[in-house]
Amino acid sequence: MSAEITIEFNSAGFREILFSDGVKSAVTSAAQKIQAEANAGVTNSKGFRMNVRGIGFGGGRWGGFVSAADNAAHTAEEENQVLSRAVHG
């Protein structure tokens, strides 16, 4: 005999978790790792910069961003995909 299960999502609870310090710490750690790996593939450059901020997708959450800090980093991504490889492992 199977039992019927009902699940009710608590949107406020999900938002609280997604904006928690623990999630921010995990996102920051992952972004720093990606930044470090990408910077290892760049010479004579400021490399890549990283920031973490609240974003609005799906009701809000922390998002980590890594981007080129100068033209040399842009070129390293364009020619050798240093950032893309860092993201994809």
Q: Domain boundaries in the chain?
A: 11-88
Q: Measured between alpha carbons, how far is 83 from 88 in angstroms, rounded to an integer?
A: 9
H or E segment to which residue 63 belongs: strand 61-68
What pLDDT digit, counting tens, does each position of 15-29 carry?
Answer: 888 889 999 999 999
Strand partners, 65: 51
User: pLDDT of 61-89, one tens digit each?
Assistant: 899 999 999 999 999 999 999 999 999 97
Q: Indicate the length of the chain as a whole number.
A: 89
Tell me which residue of 51, 40, 48 sits closest to 73, measured CA to CA: 48
Per-residue pLDDT tens over the stretch 44-59: 999 999 999 999 866 6
Distance of CA 55 to the CA centre of its chain: 11
